[in-house]
């Protein structure tokens, strides 16, 4: 008798399962994003490709300290620091120290964001840019120029390390969430 009861219960379970699928077929909203036409909504701390920020005078903030390179788990950042005695107007950087060479290998980068955390001058931040496909591996290597270009393009977008540098946009980006700690360099319009 219990065998028959089991059989009935199991058959009903199948019907119940089919009911669930039918409900999904009829009512469930589609979660698919039609990617190239539609863009996914990213989190305000999204970790895309890096940017090297500039200050309000268009001067680089990076001091070439290589803390980012040291902390990088995949060792994909190469920094060559240099110093200059030139007056402030003639310098590329806001400081006497600046980065002569700054290279990130995006093919090795795992987008952990430690470099952004490590940066003492908040010069390094990340962008929401995730479309990094390349046909050649060498195109995945970003030099300083590329990274500054990233800043010019993405500075008004949220991204890891930059979200609280733009107090005007904070509300739009974060909603309720309040970022921790003040920025050492507030954001500037690109």
Q: Which residues bind another protein (CB under 8 A)?
A: 7, 14, 17-18, 20-22, 24-25, 28-32, 34
Sheet holding 141-142, edge to edge: 77-83, 97-105, 141-142
CB of 25 to another protein, least distance (A): 4
**Cα(106)–Cα(141) distance, integer angstroms:** 6
> Residue 67 Cβ, how far from another protein at the closest point, in Å?
44
Nearest distance from residue 31's CB to another protein, in Å? 5
Q: Which is nearer to another protein, 41 or 178 (CB)?
A: 41
Least Å distance, CB 127 to another protein, is 29
Nearer to another protein, 30 or 41 (CB): 30
Q: Contact 73/117 with Cβ under 8 angstroms?
A: no
Q: Pick the closer one to another protein by CB: 23 or 152.
A: 23
How many whole angstroms separate alpha carbon 35 and alpha carbon 154? 20
The DSSP call for residue 155 is T
Compare residues 5 and 29 and give the one whose CB is closer to another protein: 29
**Cβ neighbours for 173, distance < 8 A, ≥ 6 positions apart:** 44, 158, 163, 166
Closest CA to 158 of 147, 166, 168: 166
H helical segments located in the chain: 2-27, 67-71, 114-118, 144-154, 170-174
* Smallest distance, another protein to C-beta of residue 120, A: 46
Q: Which is nearer to another protein, 34 or 136 (CB)?
A: 34
Tokens 């190469």 sit at which residue?
78
């Amino acid at each position: 008798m219990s065998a028959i009861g089991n059989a009935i219960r199991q058959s009903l379970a199948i019907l119940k399962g089919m009911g669930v699928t039918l409900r999904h077929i009829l009512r469930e909203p589609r979660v698919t994003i039609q990617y190239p036409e539609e863009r996914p909504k990213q989190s305000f701390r999204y970790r895309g490709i890096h940017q090297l920020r500039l200050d309000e005078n268009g001067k680089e903030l990076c001091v070439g300290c290589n803390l980012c390179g040291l902390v990088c788990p995949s060792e994909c950042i190469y920094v060559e620091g240099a110093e200059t005695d030139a007056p402030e107007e003639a310098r590329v950087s806001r400081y006497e120290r600046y980065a002569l060479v700054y290279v990130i290998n995006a093919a090795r980068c795992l987008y952990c964001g430690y470099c952004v955390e490590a940066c003492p001058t908040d010069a390094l931040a990340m962008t929401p840019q995730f479309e990094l496909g390349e046909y050649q591996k060498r195109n995945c290597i970003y030099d300083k120029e590329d990274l500054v270009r990233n800043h010019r393009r993405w500075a008004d977008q949220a991204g890891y390390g930059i979200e609280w540098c733009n107090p005007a946009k904070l509300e739009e980006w974060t909603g309720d969430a309040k970022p921790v700690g003040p920025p050492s360099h507030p954001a500037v319009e690109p």
